[in-house]
Amino acid sequence: MLVCLGQLLLLLVDIIMASYDQFNSGIFRINPDKINTKLDGYNIRTFEKISPKMCFDKCLRRPKCHSYNYNRHILRCELNFRPKYVSVDDFHNEVGFVYVEVGHYRGDPMYDTCLGNPCKSGEICENKKDAGGVVCVKDQEGKDYFGTVSTTKSGKTCQAWSKQEPHKHGFWAMNDESNYCRNLDGEQAPWCYTTDSETRYEMCDIPFCRNLACRSSPCENKGICAEVAGGFKCKCPCGYTGDTCSTRDKNKEDCKRSTNGFEYKGMINTTISHRTCQRWDSDTPHGHSFNNLNAENYCRNPDNEPKPWCYTTDPDKRWEICDIPFCTTPAQECVSSLYGEDYFGTVRQTKNGIPCQKWSDLTPHSHSYDSKLKDQDDYCRNPAAPGDKFPWCYTIDPDIRSDICDIPRC
């Protein structure tokens, strides 16, 4: 009994030390707020194959980044925005991950070399030794690129996303993207798998200029841009129309399909007591951290409240829920937006045919969506877009935690 207890204690010490080793190298010393734990549901960007120091810097340099999850085994960095409040249900145990909040490191010259944030909107501050100190760089890696370049920087032809030869991959949801360069997973630039069996994938040479029609992302409301002769064409998500998807489709119901309305993108802008909503990009009369919602003053639910809500223009009433009606028309059985966050159809199995676990169940897989999606039965959903790229579900197979679903695009 004592021998087993001793072995267990040694294993626990090894796990803790391994986590701290990643954050205590050289002058970079960060104590994780939580070990073998990650925050779910608040992801704003993911980076692969980067060091703990790079992950810390990427979060610290972005004012909207409140915290990050870092996996020391696979070098995965997940940046999180600031929740309205955090509960224990938002965290789940996952070996290899650490959770770090960066707020108390901002303003400390030992960690923050960009005090005062001298950069313009859309840029971030970085300390580059080869550039002689602090520089401002564009805060994007081509994730907004939806053009038609289909060759890599060395001239190799891109493999079609719908093909699994010569290179197998898991981005089957990009089947309708032909063989165009894309950045789906936080790489430093758009990329593609190649038709060269000796080169699995390679970055594409996408110029930073305003001459590419889709480079400036002209499609609003998450419309998908495609370059055509003489310009671009936007494929608008459900509920929007117009050349740039800027106009609400008056023929669409202004309604919600879930109890808490996490997916609601309508135009109701008054609360349950008929107060007018404050614009999300304004801090008057109420300061807040949801300025990047890009939703004018419409009711939204960015933080898993019981219903959509808004800050009000009444100085004496900070925020209040809105009365959003339920939709009465059937949901589409296809995906009309880039990430499928608007999908409320009835597909209930993964692309490999494994039945989905009910969102209200915590077995065989424990998770933090049981409250947010408790009324969604076992249907495929995407509650964390764009952190997740397509509707998915937890599975009833104890050995396969989750997988994406096979849903056609509209």
pLDDT in tens, 331-352: 889 887 778 888 999 999 999 9
Q: DSSP state, 91?
A: E
pLDDT at 1 over 50: no
- Asked whether residue 74 is domain-assigned, the answer is yes
Q: Which domain holds residue 23?
A: 9-105
Higher per-residue confidence, 210 vs 202: 202
As a dihedral over the C-alpha atoms of residue 250, residue 255, residue 261, residue 263, rounded to 10 degrees, the angle is -30
Half-sphere exposure of 225 (CA within 13 A, CB side): 22
- Asked whether residue 149 is domain-assigned, the answer is no
CB 62 within 8 A of CB 119: no
Task: Give the CATH number, domain containing residue 88.
Answer: 3.50.4.10
Question: What is the total count of domains within the chain?
Answer: 1
Residues contacting residue 42 through CB under 8 Å, at least 6 positions apart = 66, 80, 81, 82, 83, 90
- Asked whether residue 52 is domain-assigned, the answer is yes
- Asked whether residue 76 is domain-assigned, the answer is yes
- Asked whether residue 401 is domain-assigned, the answer is no
Give the model's pLDDT for residue 27: 43
Give the model's pLDDT for residue 210: 42
Q: Binning pLDDT at 50, 70 and 90, where does residue 154 land? A: very high
pLDDT at 214 over 80: no
- Asked whether residue 257 is domain-assigned, the answer is no
- Asked whether residue 197 is domain-assigned, the answer is no
pLDDT at 53 over 70: yes
Q: For the segment 255-301, what is each residue's pLDDT rounded down to a tens digit?
A: 899 988 988 888 899 999 999 999 998 899 999 888 878 788 999 99
- Asked whether residue 93 is domain-assigned, the answer is yes
pLDDT at 127 over 70: no
Q: Binning pLDDT at 50, 70 and 90, where does residue 118 land? A: low
CA distance 80 to 103: 12
DSSP string, 212-254: STTTT----TTPEEEEETTEEEEEPPTTEESTTS-EE-TTS--
Give the model's pLDDT for residue 100: 93
Mean pLDDT of the chain: 79
Q: Which residues pair with 200 in a beta bridge?
A: none
CB 301 within 8 A of CB 310: no
Higher per-residue confidence, 41 vs 400: 400
CA distance 104 to 276: 35
What would the two tokens of residue 8 be? Answer: 């267990």
pLDDT at 65 over 90: no
